[in-house]
Amino acid sequence: MSFAIIPQKLSIKAMRSSGYKDSAYAIAELIDNSIQAGEKLSRPVSVEVICVDKAGYDSPGGRRRLDRLAVYDNACGMDKETLRRALQFGVGNHLEEDDQKGIGKFGMGLPNSSISQARRVDVYTWRDGETWHSYLDVDDIQEGRLVDVPEPQASVLPPEWLCLISGDQGESGTLVIWTQLDLMKWKQSTALLRNAELMIGRIYRYFINTKKATIRLAAYEEISGGRFNSVSDDFVRPNDPLMLMTGTSAPAPYDDTPAFEPFGEPQELEVGYGGQSHIVTIAASICKVETRKRGGSSSIGSFAKKNQGVSVVRADRELELNRSFENSYDPRERWWGVEVAFTPALDEVFGVSNNKQSATGFHRLDIDDDAAAHGMSLADYQEQLRLDNDPRLPMYEISKAIDKLLETMRDQIARMREGERIERAAQGEDGSTAEDIATRALRRRQEKLGATGASDKDENKPDDERADVLTGEIEQEGLDPAKAREIAVSYVKRKIKFLFRHADFPGFAVFDVTSKAGVIIITINTKHPAHAHLFELLREGEADTPESPALQGLKLLLTAWARMEDEASGERKIELEDIRGEWGRIARDFLREADE
């Protein structure tokens, strides 16, 4: 009787639940191996992911289903001994610290990813005129028929796969074949490859962009007798979250013209860990003004949203898009890009998982908050972290640098469209803007009650004098003086009574009310959470389209309040200002609770 500490049936079952986010990430492990195997070659590496669908008798209507999958490369291949080690768990070629400069490290990729999707994996590899084959079979392992990795046997590539790769076999390379795909999330090859394309393009963007590797995604339907119909066949283009590369998968014209621009020069942070210094590079980008004007509902806005977050890159290969730094409720977060790049020497600091899907140690941290939570002074807390060789110490520094970048970029993004919106209100000849509607309602009120507002007397001043004052106000929204003057003249000529602005100002108020040159100016506080929860959310889809009814209604409510303050005087005016401030404070607390 056997009393194994870890019974074989249990261990292989547990190892199949290896935590891959989906099948595409498991495939990425094989692509890692291919790219790593080509690092020392003087030529680019060709990687091909080939799927074969087959009509399924057990599926409704006999629809085709994904039957088998292969990943081919023309890299350096393996000898007999290396192939056998490659199919062992945790026995890779890059386990020694001195050899951990590239993608590989853990020696888990090939067997781990394969059994997480398929019950059988066959590996063919060739070099120096010899081709070797070995395999793993989950059923054989569970039943105890397979204890050791089978000794590789001399072989040739299966003819069906030879006819599906895009070129000749090449003098060296590897072919990994998955069959019995019982845990594959996607049931058809087109669905798998469609969902994998953007992710693979993002993970390997640097290798593709520098022509170090090409990655082909191909799907076929098996007809009969070794005949196949091509279903799809494409080469992966880079998917750059910083939106700075050309020749990418972004929607035209941004596939060849970057939608973003660099935000300053990349920062190189020298962080200490384990008695050594290491460099972490932080690069940032921000959308161009013309990109921002297209709005979040545009094709480029939707594409940017898919790449939202901080890109964490290890040895030129992306691990994840980290979402801990973003304001999840703010649709403008798509308009910036940040990338953090590091070497494998900092794997412990970043908490790199063995399937290279995430950096568990990388997330937004605030050292002041954490020191206070431990009841320690900042200096004492830092010293404790240093004595413990705590990986959070360098992460606090990285987090602080990212926060500082984002604070500046968010402010710049917030101001990008303000002038555009003021210009729209000034040019709304059809009278459909909230400013026009509120002005008409106010004129009718004046007909009944007279000019009772504090702002009304300034409407009698000379037009040029009023335009001069308004020009100064509008310039603060980032418009050039000539454009600001044009808008101010239009406001005075059309007798528009309300002007909306967006700016940071102290206090708790959601908005502020002032009047200049006969115009009531409503300034929305961009520091208040209502700005993102309401104003930006409602405005985000707007570009060349009319204001949404919801946004228009919100603006009309604010113009009504603003006029109420404009008509008040003495103690009543002070009372209304106090109420506005107190309401803003309570609203801030309520909205912050929604963010928790």
pLDDT tens track for 302-316: 999 999 999 999 999
> Which residues form the domain of 184?
8-235
Query: Has residue 249 been placed in a domain?
Result: no
Q: Which of 223, 232, 158, 225 shows the shortest CA–CA distance to 189?
A: 232
- Categorise residue 361: left if φ over 0, alpha if ψ from -120 to 50, beta otherwise: alpha
- Token look-up 């062992």 returns 88
Q: How far is residue 116's CA from residue 183's CA, in Å, rounded to a whole number?
A: 7
Q: Which two three-digit tokens encode residue 367?
A: 């050292």
Into how many domains does the chain fold?
A: 3
Query: Has residue 36 been placed in a domain?
Result: yes
Clarify whether residues 369 and 467 are in a common domain.
no
Q: Among 381, 414, 447, which residue terminates a domain?
A: 414
User: Which pLDDT score is estimated for 304?
Assistant: 96
User: Which pLDDT score is estimated for 49?
Assistant: 98
Clarify whether residues 155 and 291 are in a common domain.
no
Mean pLDDT, residues 136-151 taken together: 91
pLDDT in tens, 490-522: 999 999 999 998 888 888 899 999 999 999 999
Q: What CATH number did the domain enclosing 13 receive?
A: 3.30.565.10
Clarify whether residues 505 and 584 are in a common domain.
yes
CA distances from 426 to 3, 461, 469, 487, 545 (A): 83, 20, 16, 6, 16
Clarify whether residues 452 and 360 are in a common domain.
no
Confidence of residue 560 (pLDDT cuts 50, 70, 90): very high
Clarify whether residues 192 and 62 are in a common domain.
yes
Clarify whether residues 534 and 393 are in a common domain.
no
Query: Has residue 240 been placed in a domain?
Result: no
94 has pLDDT over 50: no
Clarify whether residues 391 and 528 are in a common domain.
no
More confident residue, 295 or 401: 401
Q: Among 194, 220, 235, which residue terminates a domain?
A: 235
User: Which pLDDT score is estimated for 100?
Assistant: 46
Query: Has residue 253 been placed in a domain?
Result: no
Clarify whether residues 436 and 583 are in a common domain.
yes
Clarify whether residues 188 and 314 are in a common domain.
no
By the 8 A CB rule, do 287 and 410 touch? Answer: no
> Among the listed ranges 15-24, 124-133, 226-235, 399-408, which one has the minimum average pLDDT value?
15-24
Q: How far is residue 439's CA from residue 496's CA, in Å, rounded to a whole number?
A: 6
User: Which pLDDT score is estimated for 474?
Assistant: 85
CA atoms in the 13 A half-sphere facing the CB of 75: 28
Query: Has residue 26 been placed in a domain?
Result: yes
Query: Has residue 3 been placed in a domain?
Result: no
Clarify whether residues 437 and 371 are in a common domain.
no
Confidence of residue 322 (pLDDT cuts 50, 70, 90): very high
Query: Has residue 78 been placed in a domain?
Result: yes
Confidence of residue 104 (pLDDT cuts 50, 70, 90): low
Q: How far is residue 119's CA from residue 143's CA, in Å, rounded to a whole number?
A: 13
pTM, full prediction? 0.78
Q: How far is residue 425's CA from residue 587's CA, in Å, rounded to a whole number?
A: 28
Clarify whether residues 427 and 377 are in a common domain.
no
Run of H or E including 135:
strand 130-137
Q: How far is residue 135's CA from residue 175's CA, in Å, rounded to a whole number?
A: 12
> Among the listed ranges 172-181, 186-195, 412-421, 538-547, which one has the minimum average pLDDT value?
538-547
User: Which pLDDT score is estimated for 106?
Assistant: 45
- 395 Cβ contact list (under 8 Å, min separation 6): 349, 350, 361, 362, 365
- Helix, strand, coil shares of the chain as percentages rounded to 5? 40, 20, 35
- SS3 for 271? strand
Q: Among 388, 414, 440, which residue terminates a domain?
A: 414
Clarify whether residues 491 and 396 are in a common domain.
no
Query: Has residue 242 been placed in a domain?
Result: no
